[in-house]
Structures are given as C-alpha cells and as structure tokens.
A and B are shown apart, each in its own frame.
Chain A
C-alpha cells in the first residue's frame, strides 16, 4: 500500500524568508509525486509534479520541490515567501495503478 506523510500540521514563516513544507512517501515501484495548494473554501490547485528525470522540479508561483529517492522525500520549497502563499498544501503520490494518496495537509502561514 502506498502512503504519504506530511509531518508538520503547521508551518509559520516570515515574509521574505525561505519556506519548506515536508513530505515523505512510501510506495512500491516508481512514484509519481505531486504538490497541490488549497485556499479557503476552494478546490485544490496543481503546483508541480515529479515523474522522472531532474530531481529538482519547478512549478507555479515560484515553488519548487526536490525528489530524494534515498530519503523517499519530496519537500516543497520557495526561496522567498509571500503573505499570499498562506494556504493548505497537500502532497500526493500515484503509481501506475492511477489512484492518488494524499497527505494530511500542512497549513502554511506567512506573516508580514
């Protein structure tokens, strides 16, 4: 069975500082990894994904994520946080079977 862990329920950073939202996964076979963001009372929006190739993936709104196979991690990062980045972030993993497994989500709060 596949699983995703987001060890932090909440991440707080000051505007302008770098941010990291952590994600680790467990899956049989090669993983497809995704990050989504959810704003209040809205559906999820796709940020970025890793399928294969370069371990550093760049996505929307200046976000990036690094795939680390040995640590089975796919942490989301941004060099300089904005207040508007405050939202709920979900990591997800899929395999060829096609069903996504989502983490429990991490609430990011960026303070001015």
Chain B
C-alpha cells in the first residue's frame, strides 16, 4: 500500500510554545489529507480535512486558530499546534487519500506530543 510519513514521531515541548507536525505522502499524490487526534484507548477524533491548495475544513469544536493546517502540495500537509498547553498532549495521526471516495485512507505512524 501507499506510504505516509509523519515527522517528528514524538516531541516534548514547554507550555506556550508552538509545534509543527509534517505529514507526507511518499509515493502518491494525496488530494485530501485528514488530521486526527487519538486519546489512550479511544477512537480517532477527526480534527480537520484539507484539500491541496484550499483552506482546511475544521470539525465542530476544533479551534482553527490553535490548530493551523496547511496543505501546500499534493504530498505535504502540516499541523501546527500554536501556544501548546498540557491539555494538547495527545497522539496526532494524519492520513491521506486520493481519487474516489471509496478509496481507503493511508495513515501516518502518528506523532506523540507531550506538553510540559
């Protein structure tokens, strides 16, 4: 299957700082990328959907000014957590899809964010 990478795989930062997470589709062009947040032993919470060259569509309750998403190319999307606080600590997962809506999503390995 297609490969999606995420960087960094883990990050520890101080409260108030910003953290950028990169998501890359390595061997295909992703027309759509998704950003999820996952708490321990819980399902995926969709944060936003982004299409290349367009503004991201955020889910209800997700602060777009706090979680900045950029999808500048068909192979790269970034999530920036601005002014991070301990409650933002979580496992963030991106996924990418292309083509028809019945195509499966390909997921990155996730980024563990810990805010001290």
Contacts and interface: CB of A to CB of B under 8 A. Distances in A.
A98 interface: yes
B25 interface: no
A45 interface: yes
B29 to A, nearest CB: 16
**Max count, chain A CB within 10 A of own CB: residue among B44, B46, B109, B110:** B44
A99 B105 CA distance: 10
A96 interface: yes
Contact of A98 (B1, B44, B95, B101): B101
Contacts of B97: 98
B14 to A, nearest CB: 23
A49 B1 CA distance: 13
Nearest to A31: B102
Contact of B104 (A34, A41, A42, A96): A34
B109 A42 contact: yes
Interface in B100-114: 101-102, 104-110, 112
Contacts, number: 56
B102 A41 contact: no
Contacts of B49: 99
B110 A49 contact: no
B42 A104 contact: yes
Contacts of A98: 32, 97, 101
Interface in B2-27: 4, 6
A97 B112 contact: no
Given A36-B107, A90-B44, A99-B46, A41 B112 contact: yes
B6 A32 contact: no
A43 B43 contact: no
A46 B104 contact: yes
Interface of A: 32, 34, 36, 41-46, 49, 51, 90, 94-100, 102-105, 107
14 contacts: A32-B102, A34-B105, A42-B110, A43-B6, A43-B110, A46-B1, A46-B104, A49-B102, A49-B104, A96-B101, A97-B101, A98-B97, A104-B42, A105-B41
